Amino acid sequence: MSFLNAIPFEAIGVAVFALTGALMAARKGMDPFGFALLATVTGVGGGTIRDLLLGEPVFWVGKPTDVFVCLIVAEIVFALGPQRVAALEGGRRRGLLLLWADALGMALFTVMGTGKALAAGVPFMSAIVLGTITATFGGIIRDILAATTPLVLKKDIYVTAAALGSGVMVGLQGLGLDPFLASATGACAAFGLRALALLRGWSLPSFPSRD
């Protein structure tokens, strides 16, 4: 049984990433349209780029349910109001909900993107790249529109976690492991590395700035 068909991980991943877009819109004090825009581009952005690179129909064009999920999440967060959103984000720990939701969305999108790339018959390395793109580019678009430095351009272990999860999935499937187990293990690897980085403050070395 396919990992992606066993449980509606696509809908879950879209909703979680849409939540991060809505939380970013709340942080920036946007109007309802801003909430809808950030939630939608975050929820479907990475998958859109993946499908365009694969030369396949963009997934949400033929299945607008994913866009509706993004819009619903966006407007629910907007309707909660500043106080409730601030409470959700945890007071002094403000921003942790966004980071952890983003980590979960990244892990789910990693295996979804990798799985679709493998199903399209691309080489293993290309599948890893496309899985990583699926997991990260929605967040990149979100942060650029919100005038925030994207996580992938910081020292945070983020793209590395997505690439690890995708590589684990591809490697295990190449060894003949059941696709469900390979995908689940890949998702756990991606989320686990990102979680350890958040909890322990791990980061990649950066090149010394000359500014």
Residue 103's pLDDT band, with cuts at 50, 70 and 90, is very high
Q: Name every residue whose Cβ is closer than 8 Å to that of residue 207 and which is 6 or more positions away in sequence.
A: none
Matching residue, tokens 């959103």: 85
Going by C-alpha positions, the residue among 166, 133, 176 that lies closest to residue 152 is 133
* pLDDT for residue 96: 75
Matching residue, tokens 């939380």: 23
210 exposure class (CB count in 10 Å sphere: 0-12, 13-18, 19+): exposed
Q: Does pLDDT of 99 surpass 90?
A: no
Tens of pLDDT, residues 7-44? 567 788 899 999 999 999 998 999 999 999 999 999 99
Q: Higher model confidence: residue 203 or residue 171?
A: 171
Residue 124: other Cβ atoms inside 10 A: 16
**In the chain, where the domains are located:** 3-200
Q: Does pLDDT of 6 surpass 50?
A: no
Question: What is d(CA 79, CA 74) in angstroms, rounded to the nearest whole number?
Answer: 9
Matching residue, tokens 């493998």: 118
Tens of pLDDT, residues 121-138? 999 999 999 999 999 999
Q: Does pLDDT of 211 surpass 70?
A: no
Predicted TM-score (pTM) above 0.75: yes
For residue 187 the two structure tokens come to: 């998702």
Percentage of the chain surpassing pLDDT 70? Answer: 91
What type of residue sits at position 129? V
